Amino acid sequence: MHAPHSQYAIEARNIVKRFDGEAAVDGIDLTIRKGSIFGILGPNGAGKTTTLRMLLGIIDPDEGERFLLGSPEPISMAHQVGYLPEERGLYQSMKAFDAIAFMGALRGLPLAEGRKRGRAMMEDHGLGDAADKQIRQLSKGMAQTVQLLGTLVHDPDLIILDEPFSGLDALNQGKLERLIRAQADKGVTIIFSTHVIAHAERLCEEIAIIADGKISFKGKVSTARDRLRPQVHLETRNLDGPWRTAIPAECKPLGHNWHFTLPESGVEPLLHALVEGGAGIESLSIERPGLHDAFVQIAGDAAARKMEADAGNNNGDETA
Ligand SMILES: Nc1ncnc2c1ncn2[C@@H]1O[C@H](COP(=O)(O)OP(=O)(O)OP(=O)(O)O)[C@@H](O)[C@H]1O
């Protein structure tokens, strides 16, 4: 076994998990830097939850090894870890601030301190009026926020969130993004799984894309996006002239509109040719492809469509 590197919150080498002989996770390597926000992206059934459970030590890999905060026994680090599982649930009869304290106590925080922090956290999140309400009296989105606060109450060094955005409306999704950033600003490492590309794109510096139990891309979001060249959308008054040589030969206009990949020579030669050649520019945009386009290229169109369908199915309403 190799010694883990201290700059990593997670190191996993070739971890495998099989259920009934089928590999749900099929040889994954991950290194996640301390203090980073790391997204694990993939459609339902890709193996995200199984991966997170192995990293946390809830289940053991059949093969491979993993270190959490440097330890080969992740469970022994439980007091330094916060975990929001995919299955949400709190004791319905507990008061909200008590539920937060209870979750903290499970991770070693004295109950009295947890109660104090629970109230203060609810206050900070604009839920002060709900602190003494029973969980059953809260909306789904509020209960989910309470559970999230319970995940953070013991001030963990590492937070693992399984599909934290699903079930939240847009407003609460925005609040959660801000909360994740605030934790990262404090130096906390955050790992979350999602099948919504936009959350990963906005929050993460680095991501892993998982499909069928394997990692198909791992690295910086910018690196994934840089795999694709910028796209040009151009509208011209004229349809012919010397400027046409600046446009890829295979590009045919739709009316007066042109859509093509920016040539390797870059923006300036294109602009120069269009202006000098008298194209008559009506409109022009040159856009760097987003993570969605990169995902399509990396994981394939079918996986991207499945992710979109999953997102449609899983996004609930706060008051549902
Ligand atoms: N305890 C289990 N017993 C048998 N099969 C399992 C078990 N846990 C997961 N699987 C299977 O392993 C595969 C990966 O599931 P996993 O839950 O890790 O995926 P996921 O990417 O998290 O998707 P989801 O968001 O739907 O949970 C799926 O085919 C799932 O049915």
pLDDT in tens, 5-48: 678 999 999 999 999 999 999 999 999 999 999 999 998 888 99
Is the minimum distance from the CB of 13 to ligand 1 under 6 angstroms? no
Quick check: is 253 in a domain?
Answer: yes
What is the whole-number distance in angstroms between the Cα of residue 79 and the centre of ligand 1?
Answer: 26
- Do 221 and 80 lie in one domain? The reply is yes
pLDDT tens digits, residue range 122-169? 999 889 999 999 999 998 888 999 999 999 999 999 999 999 998 888
In the chain, how many domains are there? Answer: 2
Quick check: is 317 in a domain?
Answer: no
- Do 157 and 52 lie in one domain? The reply is yes
Q: In what order do the strands lie in the sheet with 257-261?
A: 257-261, 231-236, 281-287
Is the minimum distance from the CB of 85 to ligand 1 under 6 angstroms? no
| Predicted ipTM of the assembly | 0.94
- Do 249 and 113 lie in one domain? The reply is no
Which residue's C-alpha comes closest to atom 8 of ligand 1?
50
- Do 15 and 93 lie in one domain? The reply is yes
Tell me the pTM.
0.85
Which residue segment(s) compose the domain that 206 sits in?
A: 8-225
- Do 187 and 277 lie in one domain? The reply is no
Quick check: is 116 in a domain?
Answer: yes
> What's the confidence (pLDDT) of residue 298?
83
Question: Among residues of the chain, what percentage have pLDDT more than 90?
Answer: 68
Which residue's C-alpha comes closest to atom 14 of ligand 1?
47
Quick check: is 308 in a domain?
Answer: no
Which residue's C-alpha comes closest to atom 4 of ligand 1?
19
Q: Which residues contact 124 (CB under 8 A, 6 or more apart)?
A: none
Q: What confidence tier does 320 reach under pLDDT thresholds 50, 70, 90?
A: very low
pLDDT tens digits, residue range 49-91? 999 999 999 999 999 999 999 999 999 999 999 999 988 788 8
- Do 136 and 272 lie in one domain? The reply is no
DSSP 75: G
Give the pairing type, strands 214-220 and 206-211: antiparallel
Q: What confidence tier does 183 reach under pLDDT thresholds 50, 70, 90?
A: very high
Q: What are the helix and strand counts (H, E) for the chain?
A: 10, 12
Is the minimum distance from the CB of 48 to ligand 1 under 6 angstroms? yes
- Do 100 and 180 lie in one domain? The reply is yes
| Last-in-domain residue among 196, 225, 254 | 225
H/E element holding 96? helix 96-106
- Do 268 and 143 lie in one domain? The reply is no
